[in-house]
Amino acid sequence: PRLFFFFLLGRFVDLLAESIRNKTQVILKSYHSANSNEIRDRLVEPIHFGDNYQSVVALDTQDTICKQFKLDRIGEVIELKKTFEFETLHQKNQTDIFGMTGDSDTWVTLHLTLRSYLLLREEFPISIPYTEKTDDGYQFHGPVSNFEGVSRFILGLLDEIKIINPAGLK
């Protein structure tokens, strides 16, 4: 079963890459959305992949905004021969260290204990270049697209992390 899952994800990457190249719309069948808490089909215009091909940034034609869609939440990818209708609305939002997308970066500085440092490295390996050893622990200083992802990490280790900057994150 696990091997089939990886085969399926690989097939999704192939279909979405072809759609990006050909600038054609696709349907993401039975997409499981954590934001809306619903499972439904999404007609999208894929723009680019997120880190490690775990997600695709695409324009949702119903809302006409760019969103990140996680590949493991897609039931099936259906190719359409219909060309992009909303290309002028496409945004090349980048995925941040914590898997969130956005169009601007805010730099965050955190003081970390050894435990939180190790968990940060394991769960978010892209963070490694943004961390360094200090006299009393470790420090993370890196860009985030929004506070949602980094906040989730902080809240899970509240006694192990001290927010240094920005004040709005506190």
Tens digit of each residue's pLDDT (9 = 90 or more) over 53-78:
888 989 999 999 988 899 999 999 99
The structure's pTM equals 0.62
List of E strands, the chain: 24-33, 38-49, 55-60, 65-70, 76-83, 94-95, 101-102, 106-112, 131-134, 137-144, 161-165
Entry field: residues in the chain: 170
DSSP 3-state of 29? strand
Q: Distance between CA atoms of 141 and 88, rounded to whole angstroms?
A: 34
Q: Of residues 103 and 155, which shows the higher confidence score? A: 155
Q: Of residues 37 and 161, which shows the higher confidence score? A: 161
Residue 15: predicted pLDDT = 95
Sequence-distant (6+) residues with CB within 8 A of 113 are 137, 138, 160, 161
What confidence tier does 51 reach under pLDDT thresholds 50, 70, 90? low
Q: Distance between CA atoms of 1 and 47, rounded to whole angstroms?
A: 30
DSSP 3-state of 140? strand
Residue 36: predicted pLDDT = 84
The b-or-e profile of 10-43 (16+ CB within 10 A means b, else e) is: eebbebbeebbeeebbbbbeebbeeeeeeeeebb
Residue 68: predicted pLDDT = 87
Separation of first and last alpha carbons in the chain: 43
Tens digit of each residue's pLDDT (9 = 90 or more) over 84-138:
999 988 877 667 888 887 766 799 999 999 999 999 999 998 899 899 999 999 9
Tens digit of each residue's pLDDT (9 = 90 or more) over 8-30:
788 999 999 999 999 999 999 99
